[in-house]
Structure 1
């Protein structure tokens, strides 16, 4: 989706194939950005996908009620703040507070690269609550995002623990 210039807070894309139709379900925190004025965005998306695949395509866009509980959206939010030159400690702290307030049982955020524009790259990890990474039954959402700054690329990793499955 990023390749086609779609940046509307996309958390997940589900693709269902049948012999006669492909159904694409896009889960987004900002569906209006993807749809565009009068559905122009959906039509452009359909054209781009139909060039790759010859079968007809149906696109469903579903709104996410609590974007703070999706690791991809939290990571993209932190990366966007870093690109706008907001201090990394402040961006991570705010994201952790919002996620815990939304009902997560734990969150861990790692930011790595030339933090603050210093010459030597380092990584900073902050966490709150618990994140059981060794348990299969734990519902842990993970995402990686990159912030392209003037100093270079800063990587943002986010783990969110929502409870057991």
Structure 2
């Protein structure tokens, strides 16, 4: 005796690739909607404000559209979420650590219609440009691979290195790592900056200074300064 044929279930799949959200937040929503009716899930995602809800809602709508395209007579009210899971996506490595020691003060990015202009303000342009511009060409190729726009790379030298906040902070951190007394380091940095007749300067450091068990914050200041523009 033949067994009765099992009724086939329509299956449609939709994916969100490299979505910029923490997997933990998306998993909370995925766990809730799993096994529930599509109409109920729509109401939930549209009524509650969570960062992951709009993202999951768009993916769900894509899955429903895929199901309808396969079967025009499909009743959407009978659809349900059979599976919903979240994996970690691609993680981009930070570019900053590679630049340590090259004295990068700041990077300006200007976007036009088809051009992307990147201007790097550095203390040691020779290190970044390299011999016959080899290092600059390598850097330009790496940056160009991240965008479809035409890349224009400019490298400018910082004339007054001792007044650049980013470079001062990097030099202080390097000296403290070499176990130089932090008070001597910040006073010396302050004196070097004030020699250029700037209006004022404030240097603040935090952490387990001098190897102390309890972290603390120390700071010194001189002259007048604006806390709204710490880079000046």
TM-score, length-scaled by structure 1: 0.75
Q: Does residue 72 of structure 1 match 2:161?
A: no
TM-superposed CA distance for 1:90, in Å, is 0.9
Aligned to 1:156: none
Give the aligned partner of residue 134 of structure 2: 40
- Relative contact order (C-alpha < 8 Å, sep 6+): which is higher? 1
- Indicate the residue corresponding to 2:150 in structure 1: 56
Deviation at 1:2, TM superposition (A): 4.0
Uncovered stretches (5+) of structure 2, i.e. residues with no partner: 1-93
Shift of 1:114: 0.5
Is the 1:10–1:29 contact (alpha carbons within 8 Å) kept by the matching residues of 2?
Answer: yes
Is 1:3 aligned to 2:92, yes or no? no
Corresponding residue to 1:113 among 196, 207, 214: 207
Runs of 4+ aligned structure 1 residues displaced above 4 Å come to: none
Q: Greater helix share, 1 or 2?
A: 2
Report the secondary structure of 1:79's partner residue: helix
- For the aligned residue pairs, the C-alpha RMSD in angstroms reads 1.9
Measure, in 1, the Cα distance between the counterparts of 2:171 and 2:97. Answer: 19
Secondary structure at the aligned position of 2:145 is classed as helix
> How does 1:4-153 map onto structure 2 within 5 Å?
5-7=98-100, 8-133=102-227, 140-142=229-231
Larger proportion of strand: 1
Q: What's the offset of the Cα at 1:124?
A: 0.8
Aligned residues: 138
Compute the displacement of 1:132 (Å): 4.2
Structure 2 residue aligned with 1:157: none
TM-score (norm 2): 0.55
Q: CA deviation at 1:35?
A: 0.9
Q: Report the alpha carbon displacement of residue 19 of structure 1 after superposing the two structures with TM.
A: 2.5
Contact 1:107/1:131 (<8 A) preserved: yes
Preserved CA contact (<8 Å) 1:46 1:59: yes
What SS does the corresponding residue of 1:76 show, helix, strand or coil?
helix
